[in-house]
Amino acid sequence: MTTHTRTGAGGTLGLALDGIVLGCDYNPEQWDPTVWQEDVALMREAGVRLVAINIFGWSHVNPADGRWDFAALDQVMDLLHAHGIRVNLGTGTASTPAWLTRQHPEILPVAADGTTRYPGGRQAWCPSSPILRDRALDLVARVAERYGDHPALALWHVSNELGCHNAHCYCDASADAFRGWLRERYGTVDALNAAWGTAFWSQRYGAFDEILPPRLTLSSRNPGQMLDFHRFSSDALLDHYRAEAEVIRARSDAPVTTNFMVTAHIRNLDYWTWASDMDVVANDHYLDHRLADPVTEMAFAADLTRGLAGGAPWMLMETAVGAVNWQPLNRARAAGELRRHALTHVARGADSVCFFQWRASAQGAEKFHSALLPHAGTDSRAWRESVELGRELGVLAEVAGTRVEAHVAILFDWISWWTLDGEGNPSTHVRYLEQVHHAYRALRAAGVTVDVVPAGAALDGYRLVVVPALHAVQDAAADTLDAYVRDGGSALVTFASGIVDHDDRVRLGGYPGAFRDMLGIRVDEMCPVAPDEELALDDGSRASLWSERVELRGAEAVASFASGPALGHPAVTRHRRGDGLAWYAATALAADAYAALVARAADDAGVSRDPHAGPHVELVRRTGHGRTYVFAINNSDRPVPLDVRGTDLLTGEVLRAATTLDAGEARIVREETR
């Protein structure tokens, strides 16, 4: 895959804008044109410099088959330009117009149970539909032709959150495309039979034509087929992205991207395979109040997005000013949270903060979603806080382009997510993302900033690499980790790692197959426990969910199970391997024990930890242009010590001695010396 460098790129994120960019989605089609003038005037007041338009524009610019009407979009483009506001232009393909699905109902997606999903919501299209592709590319060509050189254009926004609702389609067109994808991957049906283990339950295929997408069955489905369907579905949408991008690139020099969904509730696309196709990596993130610790998940998502950007600055393409409308309970942000959360994204590498959306809708499914300009208008907390945020982001201009400093990496992998959360595993209570979050929370509690990188990535720059529940691993990635350890690195691997290969085939000879030698252990049996069953360890710590019968094969026991089915077996081990150290946790340690283990592994590895950072206090450094900026954000309800010297960019105050950071406060300090 190639990374495209667009001509005309420059400035922040290659968008020909400078500083940290404040932006938003703008849906002028929901309002009378008389409102637009007020919109642009207020955008200026709030410091909005980039707006995403035409995201759901299809039925407006193409109201009937063969009829095109760009008058309103022309007017909005020109109006924004006249006010010095740049455009993040949607290709408009996110949602099909009713006339099209009426004419071609075969475009509609089909669920695993064979039932159709109808129009009336959004994204009601099959990613593999040739008719959809054809019509969408026609629209893209017209939009790109018309606006490709428009002076307001800063960025192309392909479709919207590809795969948010329609990632998995099981219709006949998808079945065809799936078979084509499998032919490409395996060449022969025998190779496919071997990869999927179809000797089981008489599932052997005699020809590719016999294969279906994994539609609902009476029993568990074939795990190899399920895994490949995940891969295929991710690739089908990537192919859609590439097709739109190609049409644009033939007509415009502006950079092209789409908005990722690196969040807790979507796992459909393997973004490691997508990232290099983006001229700038962009993510949508919404706090998820269904989680126990939404703020930590937000920090993790930001770090993962930075990983997808290869460490470079990235865009926060969407977030909410306050409540969303799609959780069971849609909480408002408490006073100060908007600012702290936006700054958390910037701390972790975002050079833009964009919101969904500009003006709160009065109608439609999202009418109770927050916006920069709420239903109440400018006499509102949301507006005042937004304007203040815009001012502060303006002050942070010099931070743009700098990179986050991290000496610890965490491996993250969609294949492990898909396989570990699949059917037929030892415990449905072990969920991949939860285990990753658990590890991340421990690192955060230990005051460590981390990069999130793919399995198999070069690890030389890191002192410690944490490998949570890396269930599916290829030999090459396991070898890279082992070589890194033997060369003096430190790794901390947790249970459920290294169990299967990339065909979801168990690695035989004892668990954790791929990492047995590196860890100096062997496990002959996994012994998961009920979610409410507490496990005791002989060093006094507590654990849950998982235990296993670990035998030492060169490693030493750091702690052992003092209760449960693996009583007496090691629960935490440590193995000197070459010049490095390989740690293993055979259970889900309680938060305090996990943080203590991570702190110990980090200290042993010579990682500098910040004693004042912690679960509720962000301390992240961005460096570049010969300078270092410390982002200190206190999410707790009490003051915390802050030991940084330099100039607080937000207040101009010079910090010459250790001080405190008030509850709920944030400082961004340009360090004088380090």
Is the CB of 369 or the CB of 407 nearer to ligand GAL?
Answer: 369
The one among 117, 251, 369, 463 contacting ligand GAL by CB under 6 A = 369
Q: What is the DSSP string of 586-643?
A: -SEE-HHHHHHHHHHHHHHTT----TT-BTTEEEEEEEETTEEEEEEEE-SSS-EEE-
Q: Does the protein bind ligand GAL through residue 164 (CB under 6 A)?
A: yes
Q: Does the protein bind ligand GAL through residue 29 (CB under 6 A)?
A: no
- Distance, CA of 449 to CA of 256 (rounded, Å): 30
The one among 324, 415, 491, 630 contacting ligand GAL by CB under 6 A = 324
Residue 341: CB minimum distance to ligand GAL, A: 14
CA angle 413, 418, 419 (to 5 degrees): 100
Residue 591: CB minimum distance to ligand GAL, A: 29
Contacts of 652 (CB under 8 A, 6+ apart): none
Residue 317: CB minimum distance to ligand GAL, A: 8
Is the CB of 235 or the CB of 318 nearer to ligand GAL?
Answer: 318
The SS3 call for residue 22 is strand
Contacts of 32 (CB under 8 A, 6+ apart): none
Residue 148: CB minimum distance to ligand GAL, A: 24
Is the CB of 324 or the CB of 443 nearer to ligand GAL?
Answer: 324
Q: Does the protein bind ligand GAL through residue 366 (CB under 6 A)?
A: yes
The one among 93, 160, 296, 435 contacting ligand GAL by CB under 6 A = 160
Q: Does the protein bind ligand GAL through residue 157 (CB under 6 A)?
A: no
Residue 325: CB minimum distance to ligand GAL, A: 7
Q: Given the rule CB under 6 A, which of 73-81, 157-165, 615-623, 663-671 is the region that contacts ligand GAL?
A: 157-165
Q: From the CB of residue 517, how many other CB atoms can be counted at a distance below 10 Å?
A: 16
Task: Read off the DSSP letter of residue 334.
Answer: P
> What are the residues facing 492 on neighbouring strands?
466, 583
Q: Please answer whether residues 141 and 135 qualify as being in contact, where contact means their C-beta atoms are separated by less than 8 angstroms.
A: no
Q: Which position among 244, 297, 318, 392 bears the catalytic label?
A: 318
Residue type, 251: R
- Please report where in the chains the tokens 């001080």 appear, as a residue: 659
- Binding pattern for the stretch 83-122 against ligand GAL, x by CB under 6 A and - elsewhere: ----------------------------------------
**Which helix (H) or strand (E) covers residue 392, if one does?**
helix 381-395
| Residue 318 known to be catalytic | yes
Q: Does the protein bind ligand GAL through residue 318 (CB under 6 A)?
A: yes
Q: Please answer whether residues 30 and 361 qualify as being in contact, where contact means their C-beta atoms are separated by less than 8 angstroms.
A: yes
CA of residue 427 relative to chain centroid, distance: 25
Residue 235: CB minimum distance to ligand GAL, A: 22
- Binding pattern for the stretch 279-308 against ligand GAL, x by CB under 6 A and - elsewhere: -----x-x----------------------
Distances (CA, A) of 280 to 54, 259, 425, 533, 610: 19, 10, 37, 46, 31
* Residue whose C-alpha is closest to residue 307's, from 456, 426, 442: 456
Number of residues that bind ligand GAL (CB under 6 A): 11
Q: Does the protein bind ligand GAL through residue 359 (CB under 6 A)?
A: no
Is the CB of 367 or the CB of 625 nearer to ligand GAL?
Answer: 367
Q: Given the rule CB under 6 A, which of 317-325, 334-342, 654-662, 665-673 is the region that contacts ligand GAL?
A: 317-325
Q: Please answer whether residues 58 and 398 qualify as being in contact, where contact means their C-beta atoms are separated by less than 8 angstroms.
A: no
Q: Does the protein bind ligand GAL through residue 161 (CB under 6 A)?
A: yes
Q: Does the protein bind ligand GAL through residue 356 (CB under 6 A)?
A: yes
Is the CB of 22 or the CB of 164 nearer to ligand GAL?
Answer: 164
Could you give the dihedral angle defined by the CA atoms of residues 529, 531, 532 and 538, in that order, rounded to the nearest 10 degrees? 50
* Residue whose C-alpha is closest to residue 239's, from 97, 126, 101: 126
Q: Given the rule CB under 6 A, which of 160-168, 175-183, 197-205, 515-523 is the region that contacts ligand GAL?
A: 160-168
Residue 337: CB minimum distance to ligand GAL, A: 16
Residue 55: CB minimum distance to ligand GAL, A: 6
**Which helix (H) or strand (E) covers residue 314, if one does?**
strand 314-318
Which residues in the 375-404 window bind ligand GAL by CB under 6 A? none
- Catalytic machinery residues: 161, 318
Residues contributing to the site for ligand GAL (CB under 6 A)? 160-161, 164, 284, 286, 318, 320, 324, 356, 366, 369
